[in-house]
Chains A and B, each alone.
Chain A
Amino acid sequence: MSDAVELLEQARSGDRRSLSRLLSHIEEGGESPVEDGSGTSLGITGPPGVGKSSLIGRMIDVWTERGESIAVLAVDPSSPRSGGALLGDRMRMSNADSSDLVYVRSLATRNHPGGLMDCLTPMVDVLAACGWQNIVIETVGAGQAEIRVVAFADRILLVDGPDRGDIIQAEKAGIMELADLIAINKSDLPDAERAANAVRTALSVGADENTPEVLLVSAHSGDGVEEIIEALSQTTTTKGRERLRVRERLISAWDSTLLSSPNIESTLAALETGSMTLSQAVEQIRKGV
């Protein structure tokens, strides 16, 4: 613990290596020296290949021009087979490696449905305590676990591309309800306007009156990036959405409790051999926790 406090002191005085080490300490389950929940973050999610990292690269440019600092936590999945991960988000953020105003950290999900989320909040807290003004969590919105990652952010930007309709599909998974703002990227390509309208139509049939705004943007040309940042600064999370987010966080905490239960191995073994039913297993784990 005293190590973490010392690292925090050095990180606050601008030592990036101490900041990196402190984040590793938290990622490996170590205690955070900062008050829980003191930082705020922007979550950015969307289907693979829509240009989330490139868009963040552009947003970094706008923020640094204004003299604001940015820290990005870029989350990518771990391979379920080897446990390894290939983390390539930062290569799309072309100015991430030169400015002192930018910090980018790649994180692997490490196959703990709740585990990574446990450490994201304290990581955001540490970054905020070290004075980072804009803190971004980037994740692939391609599964329930990734949606949960983004539910830990205070505001959520959902990114889609033209000609995909992926987020309309993803509505089933509940990402669209969580979004504060939706950006249709690649507005330089034909059909972007049509895609934006399709999303607006899909949103308008829902029961929720506070539907998020849908904006066009091009990470390629930079058009619309300032507007995205302006719109984000004006969003306020509505109560209905807050409930959905809290729900995702609860499920993630529940998963985490389940997976760290002392009985998990013996319960799995009993289920495998058929000597226990699923409902008995649930009962046993609840008693054990």
Chain B
Amino acid sequence: MLEGHQRSASIDRNMRIVVAKPGLDGHDRGAKVIARALRDGGHEVIYTGLRRTPAEIVRIVMDEDAAAVGLSSLSGAHAVLIPRVCEGLREAGMGDVVVFAGGIIPEQDRSALYEDGVRAVFGPGTTTSEILDFLVTLGQRAEAGEPRGVGEEAGWHW
């Protein structure tokens, strides 16, 4: 075999990101828009489709060697499902994976998610460039050795 191409492997470019819809929630327009925006920002996005269990999402993140997972929830079950994904990732030894969320997540529910290691919650009205800025910041934090993963020290969030 000839030598493979060495990609310029900077951390904020070409991130592999899983975009997932946990639970019984049939609305995926938002998730698809986000997936498309991330792709247009130069990232590789693995879209899971609807109605995935937290265990399935953890498995997908593992198999795909993703650096981040975005969880979209419009069903009201975010307070149960998102922490389960976070816990599953930590139990599987994937505490370095970044978790962010989007959809309809009321303000008063967010601090609990941040304490659980979720690094951003994007609600209605978020621009796609804001999400890309968040990913750039993640790259900078990785380079500086600052916590960003779901199993790393909580505190910082977008």
Stretch at the interface among A112-120, A217-225, A266-274: A112-120
A82-107 toward B: CB 8 Å interface, digit per residue (1/0)?
11111110111000011000011110
A62-83 toward B: CB 8 Å interface, digit per residue (1/0)?
0000000000000000110111
Q: A88-B47, A98-B59, A106-B64 are in contact. Are A83 and B4 (CB under 8 A)?
A: no
Contact call B2/A85, Cβ cutoff below 8 A: no
Stretch at the interface among B35-43, B70-78, B110-118: B35-43
Contact call A86/B47, Cβ cutoff below 8 A: yes
Q: Does B27 interact with chain A (Cβ within 8 Å)?
A: no
Q: How many residues of A contact B (CB 8 A)?
A: 44
Stretch at the interface among B48-56, B79-87, B120-128: B48-56
Stretch at the interface among A164-172, A181-189, A255-263: A255-263
A82 contacts across to B, CB distance below 8 A: 39-42
Count chain B CB atoms within 10 A of each CB in A23, A85, A256 and give the residue with the most: A85
A33-63 toward B: CB 8 Å interface, digit per residue (1/0)?
0001000000000000000000000000000
B56 contacts across to A, CB distance below 8 A: 97-98
Contact call A79/B5, Cβ cutoff below 8 A: no
Contact call B5/A256, Cβ cutoff below 8 A: yes
**B63 interface neighbour in A36, A85, A103, A256, Cβ under 8 Å:** A103
Contact call A84/B45, Cβ cutoff below 8 A: yes
Q: Does A139 interact with chain B (Cβ within 8 Å)?
A: no
Count chain A CB atoms within 10 A of each CB in B35, B42, B44, B48 and give the residue with the most: B44
- Chain A residue at minimum C-beta to C-beta distance from B38: A84
Q: A17-B92, A260-B5 are in contact. Are A79 and B59 (CB under 8 A)?
A: no
A1-31 toward B: CB 8 Å interface, digit per residue (1/0)?
0000000000000001100110110101110
B41 contacts across to A, CB distance below 8 A: 82, 84
29 contacts between A and B (CB under 8 A): A16-B62, A17-B92, A17-B93, A17-B94, A20-B63, A24-B65, A28-B4, A29-B3, A29-B4, A29-B6, A29-B7, A79-B40, A82-B39, A82-B41, A84-B38, A84-B40, A84-B42, A85-B45, A88-B49, A92-B49, A97-B48, A97-B59, A97-B60, A106-B46, A110-B7, A122-B1, A256-B4, A256-B5, A260-B5
Q: How far is the CB of B70 from chain A (nearest CB, A)?
A: 13
New contact pairs (5) apart from A84-B14, A256-B4, CB-CB < 8 Å: A17-B93, A28-B7, A78-B44, A83-B42, A260-B5
